[in-house]
Amino acid sequence: MGRRWRDGAGWLVVDGDVGGGGVRVPLEIAGSYRARTRGLLGRDSLDGAMLLSPANSVHTFRMRMPIDVAYLDRRLVVIAVRTMRPGRLGLPRVRSRHVLEAEAGAMAGWGVRVGVRVGVEPGEADQAVGGETGEPGG
């Protein structure tokens, strides 16, 4: 069964290449239809990232800022990263099951790029459904 998350908070975990360090980024999880539809619309900024799940495309109509968009496959491996200006429609990615959004330029600083596997650690009240934790290696 695929991963399904409830709306809420958590952490995006990006493993470091050198020295085993890693990056933990505050994460908003949008797992419901309503939360995914609302996304980042009308915001001027975002502290961290937002995970839209399930999702395979996004748009930036009515957004106030450019965003980085990372498309993730079912194993949470990044298959594409794009920066989108407001008023754009992103093409659907066939293998994408989840989409990460962040302020433009943030993902490069976190090490999010094609081929990197990320992890999602739901907050205390938000547990993964379906027996999978979303953690790297799981």
Q: What is the pLDDT of residue 20?
A: 53
- pLDDT, average across residues 42-56: 90
Condensed to tens digits (0 to 9), the pLDDT of residues 79-92 reads: 999 999 999 999 99
pTM over 0.95, yes/no: no
Under the banding of pLDDT at 50, 70 and 90, the label for residue 44 is confident
- pLDDT, average across residues 38-42: 81
Report long-range pairs for 82-90 (Cβ below 8 Å, ≥24 apart). 84/58, 84/60, 85/60, 86/60, 86/61, 86/62, 87/60, 87/61, 87/63, 88/59, 88/60, 88/61, 89/57, 89/59, 89/60, 89/61, 90/57, 90/58, 90/59, 90/60
